[in-house]
A and B are shown apart, each in its own frame.
Chain A
Amino acid sequence: MKIIEIKNLKKTYEDNSVPVHAVNGVDLSIEEGEFTAIVGPSGSGKTTLLNVVGGLDDATEGTVIIDGMEINTLSSRKLTDFRMFNIGFVFQAYNLIPVFTAKENVEFVMHLQGAKKAHREARSTELLKAVGLGEMMDRRPSKLSGGQQQRVAVARALASKPKFVLADEPTANLDSKSTENLLDIMEQLNKNENITFIFSTHDQRVVNKARRVVTLEDGKVKSDEKRE
């Protein structure tokens, strides 16, 4: 089942009055349960593509349809709500709330969704255990390593039961052991719970784990390789 459908997507920036075509006519479909890596050199449009697909940035042209909903047509407020209920985000720099504990960070999105306290507590505990942080739930981000913080970020991304997770270079700040650990966790979640992951990455270890690799160059899809 197609979860994301991208048609002739273009995103053009003005850089000192010079137009920069960061994404230049991308057509792409993502099926439910895929484990996709979007790769390419710096400036190839990976992050811009993820931002537009995630509703964080507007498209200049083209359409992004998520689960049948064309997100380009949504108002800013509806788009925010759409992101909250449908998309999980994992950022390169973790971006956790430093004044909250790991558990509170995971609970936060559910709180925004209006979930009841008992549900929030049960789900955040379950997710933190799933990413191997069951013993560190009450620690603040400053008391966690980079790898542990990124695992909290993964748990947070999954808390709202999104249709897919967008991860922008999730391993860029991690050492190899933490990277391995994180990838194993995400691979398990993908296989066991059929969660769709889309990464932008430079990291060959991520590419090796991916079952689909989309390569971008100059804002266009250069290759799209599916692996078994």
Chain B
Amino acid sequence: MIWSIAWRNVWRNKLRSLVMIAAIALGLFAGVFTMAFMQGAVDARIESATKTELAHLQVHAPEFLVNNDIALKIDNADEILGNIAALDSVVAASQRLIAEPFIMAAHGTGGGKLIGVVPEQEKKVTDIWEKIVDGAYLEHDSRMPPVVVGEKLAKRLRLKVGTRINVQMVDRHGNLSVKGYRVSGIYRTTNTSYDESTLFVKFKDLQAQLGMEENSAHEIAILLENGDEASAVKPSIQKVAGNYEVQTWKEISPEMSLLTDSMDQYMYVFILIILLALCFGIINTMLMAVLERVKEIGMLMAVGMNRRRIFFMIILESVLLTVSGGILGMLIGSVVTKFFETRPINLAMFAQGLEEYGFASQIYTSLRGETLITIGILVIITGVLSAVWPARKALKLNPAEATRTE
């Protein structure tokens, strides 16, 4: 009966309750949608980082990522690659050679990261080949070795498909080596700084230029069925890799890990700010509800409703009011989010700025079940906390005076 009286009391002043429910619903909708939007942006960034740049796990010689010394190599790369690829949770693996050359073109020069890949392997691990916007990937055969460059670098050095560039580096023996490559394709990712600095050539071409031995590589990139399992799969890969260093994408790129963790925290702070703002509205509504029912509360005390039950009744009213608005807001938020899960929100006007930071300009929303559950719990807590002051005010009433209040 206390549930019944609490629920009916919520609807005693329909307009006031509806306004409050609408405010809560609007606030929660904004919160849910913003969380889904930001989560979508982060997910896309992570997907781009893992599918295009890092893969889920990488194997290197110890200290390679710190020094970028070409002498720090994986010796029996073919064997290790084969063993890794045979693991159940591994979808594909690709070996790479990496150098940091000086690039010379007719209209400019610059540094960059040159990655030598085996195209058939690399296509199974990363999706750069799908991001070619002009020309072709590395399968193209010509007299001069092919190179794939990013669109940003191509613009800066005024490169086109077919343009020749000279790549200068120090080889394994310490000799200066200059080799000509012809641009076979231009790619475009959602990360312009990556596009400006990363070039791809065939493994064997870079192997020849660096003077690397057969069966050696600087990096083995590994794609898993589920990227979230990277940490769990790492030990089994470490077993195969022996003394070489195995790292997950979060370890290789801690800023990416920080992005996901901090984004979650920012979003919950954002939701808390929304709920805090709503809290004042709920306190006001509940305070009015208590003050206009002083006589009735006095009567309830007189006929035997103890203070614990009165406190519970008022808390319940507040929770029912808040949860009604919360459910409505989360429902609308979920429906709108669902809509934008398959239809991207186009932020083309901010594309340049977003892509500078590696974010896509087309964002698909992403809402997790646990996010909704957490918001639901926060809504209930808000309802309870908002009612504490009005409920305490009710408890301080003297039934003798309250029953005679005009």
A contact set with B: CB distance below 8 Å: 47, 51, 54, 56-57, 76-77, 80-81, 83-85, 89, 91-93, 95, 97-100, 104, 107-109, 111-113, 156, 160, 168
Query: Is there contact, CB below 8 Å, between B304 and A112?
Result: yes
Residues 285-342 (chain B) with a chain A CB within 8 angstroms = 295-296, 298-307, 309
Q: Is the interface of B mostly helix, strand, loop or mixed?
A: helix
Query: Is there contact, CB below 8 Å, between B1 and A95?
Result: no
Residues of A within 8 A of B392 (CB): none
- Identify the 10 closest CB pairs spanning chains A and B, nearest first: A84-B304, A99-B8, A95-B299, A56-B400, A51-B400, A57-B400, A111-B1, A80-B306, A56-B399, A112-B304
Shortest CB–CB separation between residue A190 and chain B, in angstroms?
Answer: 21
Shortest CB–CB separation between residue A14 and chain B, in angstroms?
Answer: 14
Query: Is there contact, CB below 8 Å, between A83 and B400?
Result: no
Shortest CB–CB separation between residue A138 and chain B, in angstroms?
Answer: 14
Residues of A within 8 A of B399 (CB): 56
Residues of B within 8 A of A108 (CB): 1, 5, 303
Query: Is there contact, CB below 8 Å, between A91 and B299?
Result: yes
Query: Is there contact, CB below 8 Å, between B8 and A100?
Result: yes
Choice from A80, A99, A168 contacting B301 with Cβ under 8 Å: A80
Residues of B within 8 A of A77 (CB): 306-307
Query: Is there contact, CB below 8 Å, between A99 and B302?
Result: no
Shortest CB–CB separation between residue A42 and chain B, in angstroms?
Answer: 13
Chain B: residues with Cβ within 8 Å of the partner, total of 25
Choice from B9, B298, B302, B404 contacting A47 with Cβ under 8 Å: B404
Query: Is there contact, CB below 8 Å, between B1 and A85?
Result: no
Cα of A51 to Cα of B303 in the assembled complex, Å = 12
Residues of A within 8 A of B305 (CB): 80, 112
Residue of B nearest to A112 (CB): B304
Other CB < 8 Å A-B pairs besides A80-B306, A91-B302, A97-B296, 10 of them?
A56-B301, A83-B303, A89-B302, A97-B5, A104-B1, A107-B1, A108-B5, A109-B304, A112-B303, A156-B303
Contact of B403 with A by CB under 8 A: yes
Shortest CB–CB separation between residue B260 and chain A, in angstroms?
Answer: 48
Could you write out 13 A-B pairs with CB less than 8 Å apart?
A: A77-B306, A80-B304, A83-B302, A83-B304, A91-B299, A93-B295, A95-B295, A99-B5, A108-B5, A111-B1, A112-B305, A156-B303, A168-B404
Residues of B within 8 A of A99 (CB): 5, 8-9, 11-12
Query: Is there contact, CB below 8 Å, between B403 and A95?
Result: yes
Residues of A within 8 A of B398 (CB): 56-57
Residues of A within 8 A of B404 (CB): 47, 92, 168
Cα of A81 to Cα of B301 in the assembled complex, Å = 10
Residues of A within 8 A of B299 (CB): 89, 91, 95, 97
Cα of A83 to Cα of B306 in the assembled complex, Å = 10
Query: Is there contact, CB below 8 Å, between A56 and B12?
Result: no
Query: Is there contact, CB below 8 Å, between A160 and B8?
Result: no
Choice from B5, B304, B400 contacting A113 with Cβ under 8 Å: B304
Cα of A152 to Cα of B13 in the assembled complex, Å = 24
Cα of A100 to Cα of B29 in the assembled complex, Å = 34
Query: Is there contact, CB below 8 Å, between B303 and A98?
Result: no
Interface centre among B4, B301, B304 (most CB of A within 10 A): B304
